[in-house]
Amino acid sequence: MDSQTLHYYESYADKTARRYEGAEEGVASLFPFAFQRGERVLEIGAGSGRDAARLLHQGADVQAVEPSSRLRRLALAAHPELQGRLFDGYLPGGLPPECQREYDGILLSAVIMHIPDGELFDAAFELRACLAKGGKLLISMPMERDDVRPAEQRDDSGRLMVIRSVAQVRLLFERLGFELENDWKSVDSLGRGFLWASLFFRSTGVTTRAIDRVESIINADRKVATYKLALIRAFCDIAMTSWAVARWEPGGAVSVPLGAVSEKWQQYYWPLLEGNEVIPQINAESEGESPSPSAGSLVS
């Protein structure tokens, strides 16, 4: 959990809770469509407890997590029916033991923008692990905000605010075996003029064919072709830590700047190049021989 973001919610818990409780329906209007009576539902980032309480009244078996201790206290004061259902927790890696179970549905409302790029894949992977096959995931996220400083990815209050496109989030979850069934656009329920997107995914329990192809290369390809493994590693590093450099092209293709891959390769191979030890190459010099000019390349 980003420390500056958590500090904001701890410092302004009263103001935040009042604002959430007084907001218009927002993503809650989709609950009857997304979640059914009797289903096990986990809400991550419960805030004031309003949505968790609404799901409970709708007949869902709800558990919820919220990292701000002050917001949890205010949520229980406003919605005492959440007693025993609301816990300290966050994504990724911060779900408590009480929530280590399989759910029919997960709600992630106004949370994903607080997860940094470097942790988003782990968070998505953890969400998949929490869902039963066929389980449902409802995400609500901002598409645009005029109070965010792009270079810092923080709003005027200092909260981490990573603005991502629907295509970016869709690609991430589809890589992990989710299918996007519906998406909606809406104006901000607090009247701030922001645009929001709500995405409704279903877990298929299987990964996409692209992931299968990558796995087949890692498992079956000749390990002496190090450039292939380095290329896969570079793509994985970019996808997990700096995926904003990727471009989503028409038709669903994704392109990555060659410079970004080149920088990763320099990081991987430079320690070998700057060292004094000779590393024998396949079909080239043997140990103890001087490297020939044509055999000195690590990538061929």
Residue 298 pLDDT greater than 60, yes or no:
no
Q: Element (H or E) spanning 228, and its range?
A: helix 226-241
Task: Evaluate the CA torsion angle 223, 228, 233, 236 in order and state its sign.
Answer: negative
Q: What is the CA radius of gyration of the chain?
A: 23
Element housing 4 (H / E)? helix 3-11
Looking at the DSSP bridge assignments, the partners of residue 197 are 141, 185
Q: What is 3-203's CATH number, 1.10.150.130, 3.40.50.150, 2.60.120.650, 1.10.510.10?
A: 3.40.50.150
How many helices (H) and strands (E) are present in the chain, helices listed first? 10, 11
Strand bridging mode 61-65 / 131-144 = unpaired
Ordered alpha helix ranges (H), 64-165: 69-78, 117-130
Query: pLDDT by residue (tens digit) across 222-266?
Result: 555 667 778 888 887 887 777 678 887 777 678 888 998 888 888
Residue 221's pLDDT is: 58
The one-letter amino acid code at 100 reads Q
Statement: residue 288 has pLDDT above 70: no
| Number of C-beta neighbours around residue 89 at 10 A | 23
Best CA proximity match to 201, nearest among 265, 270, 131, 143: 131
E strand or H helix at 272, and its extent? helix 258-274
pLDDT of residue 278: 72
Higher pLDDT: 261 or 87? It is 87
Helix (H) or strand (E) holding 220: helix 209-220
Q: How many CB atoms lie within 10 A of CB 197?
A: 18
So what's the pLDDT on residue 190?
A: 72
Q: How far apart are CA 204 and CA 231, in angstroms?
A: 28
Residue with more model confidence, 140 or 246: 140
CA angle (206 as vertex; 184, 112 as ends), nearest 5:
40
Residue 248: strand, helix, or coil:
strand
Q: What average pLDDT does the chain have?
A: 86
3-class state of residue 221 by DSSP:
coil
- Residue intervals in the chain for CATH 3.40.50.150: 3-203
- Spatial distance between the Cα atoms of 145 and 285, rounded to a whole number of angstroms: 59
Half-sphere exposure of 238 (CA within 13 A, CB side): 23
Cα-Cα-Cα-Cα torsion 34, 36, 40, 42, nearest 10 degrees, comes to: 30
